[in-house]
Amino acid sequence: MLKITMNETDGIAILEPDGALSKDDFTSACKIIDPYIEKAGKLNGIIIHVESFPGWDSFGALVTHLKFIKDHHTTVTHVALVTDSHIGSFAEHIAGHFVCAEIKGFHFREFDKATEWITSDNG
């Protein structure tokens, strides 16, 4: 399950996985994020807030996740990985080669710091 919260004031989508990610999670994310991007022209940031990365429930979910990244990487300016998972630092270094967004890692308890980083860069 993926909890998706859209902070329209700051232009930030907050994604909080609770269990393995599914195809439906990314479909739901698109239904919330895409209308905002159509209206605003971009998304200032995505915050992925999860203590440890839960993985995907299927190979199809992984493929859907990669398609989500491909479809959104030019309209999102920042991605904050707010996690204590080691995959967060790995993703921060690897994903930077494939997406236009600036990516930065934060410890799980640094949610406010991540929000501040996104808003100060887009202010």
For residue range 38-86, list pLDDT tens digits in order: 999 999 999 999 998 888 999 999 899 888 888 888 899 999 999 987 6
- Residue 97's pLDDT is 42
Spatial CB neighbours of 85, under 8 Å, sequence gap ≥ 6? 50, 51, 52, 53
Map residue 106 onto helix, strand or coil.
Answer: strand
Residue ranges of domains in the chain:
44-123
- Choice between 78 and 96, residue whose per-residue pLDDT is larger: 78
Map residue 103 onto helix, strand or coil.
Answer: strand
